[in-house]
């Protein structure tokens, strides 16, 4: 991976994301779209030579672009419901990548748990707290978008340059298998032999979280002056 | 083989981070933590599929990801219960409204 190309991609991505952020200025949505499309094209051009088989390349490029596009929309959309729906898109793209990585059971579990369970909770809460008459003021203006985007992309730049160096050094070319790595049987055996204590602790964690959520949600706010509620 | 997945995972994580810092809606902030979890899942599974030592795929990354799913579910339940409670107190989802601990 060439460093200059990488930096161009990161700059384009940062500028596009900044333009797409909800802000008090005019609507730069179209310009942001063009810039982000450029960044995506560069990303695909950078990453594709590193991948193996041709079929895998096409799927990876598709899933990467769809997933990152969904992620950008999650953090830039002004309506929370649409953010939640774009997050489903991200989950589906990530599940596709897990399939490419031969984690078949995990891909199915991710869709069922995230898109099926967690996102439904989110949508319910958004419906409960929905405000009439378009997006609220705090959804229309981001908090310090420039500083946030800069900080995030500096972190990403540091990570990506290091990763690019690692790719140049020739990391381990793993064995190609014909799928079946992450089947239910394999994952289940692994979980119930090596990680059996973890499974028990996870069960306890879920129980505590359930009890806690019910306890919190049952509390009634007492009428008192602002800032005094306990 | 490993690097593209790590790159996508890092990008997802950073996008979640940016969203968490810049958005002011409590629900979107929680959604952004889930976005960061997605990036981490990609990383974990990629490291399991293409391990740094040896070339036999391992399942540790997938086991970790399953635990991460459970933690994410617990976090979503508790976090959203808190959001609902906060919304009942002030009738808004703006994170800037809550300044009880602010020193001014």
Q: Which candidate from B11, B54, B69 shows the least CB-CB separation from A113?
A: B69
Q: What are phi and psi of B25, to 5 degrees?
A: -90, 125
Any B CB within 8 A of A207 CB = no
- pLDDT, tens digit (0-9, with 9 covering 90-100), for A148-166: 889 999 999 999 888 888 7
Interval A108-113 mean pLDDT: 92
pLDDT band at B64 (very low <50, low <70, confident <90, very high): very high
pLDDT band at A76 (very low <50, low <70, confident <90, very high): confident
* Domain spans, chain A: 3-169, 183-219
B52 contact partners, CB below 8 Å, separation of at least 6: A171, A172
List chain B residues with CB under 8 Å of A166: 3
- Angstrom CA distances, A83 to A58, A204, B81, stand at 27, 31, 19
Q: What residues 39-98 of chain B have any CB closer than 8 A to a CB of chain A? A: 41-42, 45-46, 48-57, 59-63, 65-67, 69-78, 80-85, 87-89, 92-96
* CA–CA gap between residue A65 and residue A42 (Å, rounded): 11
| Average pLDDT taken over every residue of chain A | 82
Interface touch B93/A138, C-beta < 8 Å: yes
Interval A39-53 mean pLDDT: 77
Question: Torsion over CA of A176, B2, A166 and A7, rounded to 10 degrees?
Answer: 140
| Lowest-confidence segment of A4-8, A50-54, A170-174 by average pLDDT | A170-174
pLDDT band at A25 (very low <50, low <70, confident <90, very high): low
pLDDT at B67 over 60: yes
pLDDT at A91 over 60: yes
Interface touch B63/A114, C-beta < 8 Å: no
* CA–CA gap between residue A91 and residue A72 (Å, rounded): 13
Question: Torsion over CA of A23, A25, A28 and A32, rounded to 10 degrees?
Answer: -40
Interval A199-204 mean pLDDT: 94
Interval A119-138 mean pLDDT: 80
Per-residue DSSP letter, A171: -
pLDDT band at B9 (very low <50, low <70, confident <90, very high): very high
Q: Which candidate from A67, A152, A227 shows the least CB-CB separation from B8?
A: A67
The answer to whether the CB of B41 falls within 8 A of the CB of A110 is yes
Query: What class is the A3-169 domain?
Result: mainly alpha
Give the ipTM of the model, two decimals please: 0.92
Interface touch A187/B2, C-beta < 8 Å: no
pLDDT at A26 over 60: no
pLDDT at A227 over 60: no
The pLDDT, as a whole number, for residue A229 is: 47
The pLDDT, as a whole number, for residue B57 is: 83
A186: tokens are 């394999």
A182: tokens are 């992450």
The pLDDT, as a whole number, for residue B74 is: 93
The pLDDT, as a whole number, for residue A136 is: 73
Domains and CATH numbers, chain B: 2-97 (1.10.287.3510)
- pLDDT, tens digit (0-9, with 9 covering 90-100), for A178-198: 666 788 898 999 899 999 999
pLDDT at A226 over 60: no
pLDDT at A172 over 70: no
A22: tokens are 């909800």
């Amino acid at each position: 991976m060439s460093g200059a190309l990488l930096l161009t991609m990161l700059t384009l991505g940062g500028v596009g994301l900044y333009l797409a952020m909800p802000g008090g200025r005019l609507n730069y949505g179209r310009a942001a779209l063009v810039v982000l499309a450029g960044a995506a094209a560069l990303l695909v051009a950078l990453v594709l030579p590193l991948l193996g088989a041709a079929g895998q390349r096409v799927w990876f490029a598709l899933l990467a672009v769809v997933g990152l596009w969904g992620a950008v929309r999650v953090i830039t959309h002004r309506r929370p419901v649409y953010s939640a729906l774009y997050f489903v898109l991200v989950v589906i793209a990530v599940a596709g990548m897990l399939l490419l990585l031969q984690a078949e059971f995990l891909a199915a579990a991710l869709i069922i748990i995230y898109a099926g369970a967690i996102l439904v909770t989110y949508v319910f809460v958004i419906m409960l707290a929905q405000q009439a008459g378009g997006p609220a003021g705090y959804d229309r203006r981001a908090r310090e978008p420039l500083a946030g985007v800069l900080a995030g992309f500096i972190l990403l730049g540091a990570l990506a340059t290091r990763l690019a160096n690692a790719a140049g050094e020739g990391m381990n070319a793993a064995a190609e298998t014909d799928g079946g790595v992450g089947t239910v049987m394999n994952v289940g055996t692994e979980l119930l032999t090596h990680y059996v204590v973890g499974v028990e602790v996870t069960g306890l964690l879920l129980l505590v979280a359930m009890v806690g959520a019910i306890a919190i949600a049952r509390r009634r706010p007492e009428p008192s002056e602002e800032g005094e509620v306990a | 083989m490993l690097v593209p997945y790590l790159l996508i995972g890092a990008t997802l994580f950073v996008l979640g981070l940016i969203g968490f810092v810049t958005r002011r809606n409590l629900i979107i902030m929680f959604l952004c933590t889930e976005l960061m979890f997605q990036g981490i899942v990609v990383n974990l599974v990629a490291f399991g599929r293409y391990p740094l030592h040896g070339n036999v795929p391992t399942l540790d990354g997938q086991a970790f990801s399953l635990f991460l799913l459970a933690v994410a579910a617990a976090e979503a339940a508790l976090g959203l219960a808190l959001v609902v409670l906060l919304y009942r107190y002030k009738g808004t989802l703006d994170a800037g409204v809550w300044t009880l601990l602010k020193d001014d």
